[in-house]
Structures are given as C-alpha cells and as structure tokens.
Amino acid sequence: MSDGISARQAALGLLTSVLDEGMLLQQTLSDPNGPLAGLNPSERARAQRLCQTVLRHIEQADATLAPFLRKNPPKEVQNILRLAVVELAIDKAAAHGVVNAAVTLMQQGRKTTHSAGLANAVLRKVATLPDLFAAFPAQRLPYWLRKPLVDAYGRAVVAQIEAVQSQAAPIDLSTRAPASWPDLGQILPTGSVRMAPSTQVTAIEGYDEGAFWVQDAAAAIAVNLLSVKPGARVLDLCAAPGGKTMQLAALGADVTALDISEPRVKRLNKNLKRTGLNAKVIVADALHWQSDAPFDYILLDAPCSATGTIRRHPDLPFVKDGAELEELIQLQAELLDRALGWLKPDGQLVYCTCSLLPEEGEWQLAAALARHPNLQVMPIGFAGLDPAWLAPAGGLRLRPDHWAEQGGMDGFFMVALEFKH
C-alpha cells in the first residue's frame, strides 16, 4: 500500500492492542506476527510514532470530534478518526492527504466501511478549525495515579508533568568517554547527550564502534551516586537492558549484572558486545541467587510501576491500573533487604525505581531505615546536580517536569545507602 496507508494501518493495530487488548506496546512491537510484520524500517518507525502520538492526545482528539458526532462511533471507527485528528493537530499534515487516508482506511475495514462518508464529512470540518487542541489542557493521568501524585506534589506540578508527557521524548545517550559532541546534540549538565526524538541512533557516527548507548539522562544519574573505583566488585541487580551495567563497566569496575528475564539479558549481552565492555552476566531470580563473595557496590534498580517513564511509554496509563502496586512494594523491600546482605561492611548501595509514587521511593527508604537501624543515607554530590532534585529525607526525587524546557526527564527516586561505622 502507498501514501502511508501501511504505516497508518499498523498504527491502528498497535492502538487496538493497547486500548482493547490491554497489551503493553513493547510486547506488541516485539511480536514477529504483530501489526508491524512485513513493514520496512521506515514504515515501522512511522507506525510506532503515530500510535504513541495518538495515545498522548486521545482526550484532545475525542473532545475535538465530539461536536461533530451525534453518538460515540464503534471503537474501530473512533480510532481511525483519532489518528486523523492527531495527524492534523500535531503533525500539521496536509488536510487532503489525511482525510483521503482516513476514508481509505474506513473502506478497507469490514467493520468500518459504512463509516467512510462520516469520516470524510467530519474530518473536512475538523480540518477547518483553527489551532487544533490549543483550547484543551494536556492529557490527564488516570485517577488511580493522578490522585496520589497530586497529594504528593500538588496540582500545579502534576499539570506540568502532564504537559511534558504530552510531547515526544528526546533521545538521551550515555557515552563511554566524556561527551564531546555539541554538534550532534545538547550536552546536558549531568553529561548525557540529548538528541531530537526523531534521531536514528544507528546512523550516528560511533554507534557501530560502541561509543555510546541509549539511556535516559535521569536513569544515568544513579551511577553518579556511587563512588565506584576501578577494579571494585559491583553488582547491578535487575540490570537489563544494561545501561547502568555499561556505565559501571566503563568506569573500570568488575561488574556482575543479574536479571531474571532471559530475553532482556539477550539485549544486555548484545549491548555489551557492541560497546566492547565486559561484565559477568547472570540470568537468575535475585531472591534465590547466592553470591560467592560480598560486593563493594550494589545498584538495585528495582521492579516498579514505571510511572516515571510515561513520557517514553504513553501506553502505560491505558494498560496499568495500579493493581500490582502492593505486590511490587513487597518485592522491592525483599530485594533491598537481600541486596544489603551482599554488601561489604564499608560498601555502598543505591536503591532506585523509575516511579513517581512515594510508596516505591521515599516510603521504601523510611521503611528500610526502620528495619536496619545501622543503615544511613549518604550525602549526594556530582556534576550537574540541581538542589531542587534533593528529597527532604535523603536521596533524589527526579520528575518529568525537571528540565522541562529541554524535554524533561524520566521520573525516579534514588538514594545511596551505607552501614554506619
């Protein structure tokens, strides 16, 4: 199919998997028989981008369409209309091309062919509206997540987070050596290199030589909380896909990277091979694995709700409902306690989660300090540290609205711990 119909059709398939089947987008993207099957790389990238853009703007698209619809159309029809409206509003695509594509998509579907005329009439009217979406606020987070975030940070901050999440996230790179590529991207205060969202990473000079890897700037900060020395024994728990493992290896550490997921570990090994960095990689459940010797440093990026990564994964609010939170909080505590048992007496441990929820961050810290009276929070200091990131009880509270003008960052809680001497 020509004129971008194939990519749009695939985008609709991705939307269906998220909105109707409750599938995480990453699961569908990795399915060899999924909606992207048979597409060339350019079409695959466009389909994924279109799907993510619609997911970021469903509320605005529906509000724009509502005055022109007497009733809610079937979901298959609604998704085609949403896609078209988002292309008009966000991509600023030519109206005739968008309308024609939507009509074609309607005609091709057994459940939608009767709505081709509706699409033509409605979208031609929408295309005449000035400043599409300008009158609407950024898409709101679901209630189960928004309420605790408002309680924790206030409505104004949550609105700023939602505004950042409505934009396509830039691509951040970590480098083997200190970044020196101002002509390719923005060097952030913490040392990461920031590229435009549309950047084709594999085409950047140095990719094949392993000079860098993709890693959100906030995620890269966790290693800065450890004073890792060359040759030190370091354990990276829940390590895949390996961004922090590569950071640690690049510092000259003797790294053991452990993860429970074999498919994710394959990605980690692939990344290590490309960068030429070394680590001992283990596929195991950390709750049952036994170490043969203690470690100087441990980094635990614990499984969590991933609510800090919505700017990169706009499907999460449509798939998750918070039901797994209690189980995750218990797992985080168990992993933290177990990791502390592998630490040398003078060792350091970083606990972090890519979550915005205090239950998975600040509250976990308070509970750990209560369980381990001889544990203490370490002071934090590194290049690029913004005092606004410091959490009142210790550690860092990173939010998507930090660096908002530069595209934000993923949300994290992270803290460095050591035993009192």
Section 45-74 average pLDDT: 96
For residues 171-177, give the mean pLDDT: 91
What integer best gives the mean pLDDT of the chain?
A: 95
**pTM for this predicted structure:** 0.94
Predicted confidence band of residue 185 (pLDDT cuts 50, 70, 90): confident
Mean pLDDT value of segment 49-58: 98
Flag whether pLDDT at 93 surpasses 90. Answer: yes
- Reported as a pLDDT band with limits 50, 70 and 90, residue 1 is very low
Domain 218-419 coded CATH 3.40.50.150: yes
Distance CA 357, CA 296 (A): 29
% pLDDT > 90, the chain? 93
Average pLDDT over every residue of 240-256:
96
Query: b or e along 19-38 (b: 16 or more beta carbons within 10 Å of the residue's beta carbon)?
Result: beeebbbeebbeeeeebbee
Whether the per-residue pLDDT at 114 is higher than 70: the answer is yes
Residue 226, CA atoms < 13 Å, CB-side half-sphere: 30
| Residue extent(s) of CATH 3.40.50.150 domains in the chain | 218-419
Across the strands, what pairs with 236? 257, 299
- Antiparallel, parallel or unpaired: β 233-237 and 254-259: parallel
Burial class (CB in 10 A: 0-12, 13-18, 19+), 221: buried
Q: Does pLDDT of 182 surpass 70?
A: no
Residues of the chain with CATH 1.10.940.10: 5-126
Burial of residue 75 (CB within 10 Å: 0-12, 13-18, 19+) is middle
Task: Assign domain 5-126 to its CATH architecture.
Answer: Orthogonal Bundle (1.10)
Residue 412: its pLDDT value, please?
A: 98
pLDDT in tens, 362-403: 999 999 999 999 999 999 999 999 999 999 999 999 999 999
pLDDT in tens, 266-287: 999 999 999 999 999 999 999 9
| Section 315-330 average pLDDT | 97
**Is 354 one of the annotated active-site residues of the chain?**
yes
Choosing from 238, 304, 352, 354, the catalytic residue is 354
Query: What pLDDT score was predicted for residue 156?
Result: 98
Cα separation, 99 vs 254, whole angstroms: 57
Residue 184's pLDDT is 73
Percent of the chain with pLDDT over 70: 98
